[in-house]
Amino acid sequence: MASLPIYKRILYSTVFCAYRHPTPRKIECRHPFSFRICDLDLCPIVQEYFANVIFLPEGIFLVIKTPSENKAAGEWKRIPLKITLDNEEEVMSIIEKEAEGISDKNMEVLKERVHRIYERYRFLKEKGKEIPILEEIEEIEEKVGEEEEEEEYWEEEGTEYEEGESS
């Protein structure tokens, strides 16, 4: 995808944006899916195709914006990413496959962001620090596994409680 024509750049750079926040050194974008950089080539509002990796309480997600006939702003979809310390190539291939319509600059910044996430996690692991998002995901998986084991136990025992029975 080519960059925006000059007339659109002038229009978008002079129009008021609710997410534009000036700081002493730069202009920051406060859109929840942005890269925190106010750059028209990386703007989730201006670009038809956009992708980023975000952290939510439910986990780490790849968010992708595509054009839509039903919505003027485009359609957003979230793809959960299972990030462990040794699956960087797998996550990169998922990103390349799912976000194939985005601009080259967006893809470059997205890959750099994912690489920095892995570097940060490796550094924390090396220093013996906790990696909160990975720890939470592992705890959730353990709880789900325990619940399944309990259900299997009660199904094997055949001691299901039926209404009307007294103990």
Structural domains for the chain: 6-140 (3.30.390.110)
Segments of the chain scoring below 70 in pLDDT: 1-3, 133-167
Taking the mean position of all CA atoms in its chain, how far away is CA 35?
11
Amino acid 133: pLDDT: 65
Q: Which residues of 37-48 are buried (b: 16+ CB within 10 A; e: fewer)?
A: ebeebbbbbbbe
Give the number of other Cβ atoms within 10 Å of residue 71's Cβ: 9
pLDDT digits (tens, 9 = 90+) for 74-121: 899 999 998 888 889 999 999 999 998 899 999 999 999 999 999 998
Q: What is the pLDDT of residue 145?
A: 54
Both tokens assigned to 136: 């939470």
**Quick check: 112 and 149 in contact, CB under 8 A?**
no
pLDDT of residue 1: 45
Looking at residue 106, its pLDDT comes to 94
pLDDT of residue 149: 55
What was the pLDDT predicted at 115? Answer: 95
Query: For residue 16, what are its two tokens?
Result: 């008021």
d(Cα 139, Cα 146) in Å, to the nearest integer?
11
**Beta carbons within 8 Å of 32's beta carbon, 6+ residues apart:** 54
- The reported pLDDT for the residue numbered 167 is 44
pLDDT at 11: 77
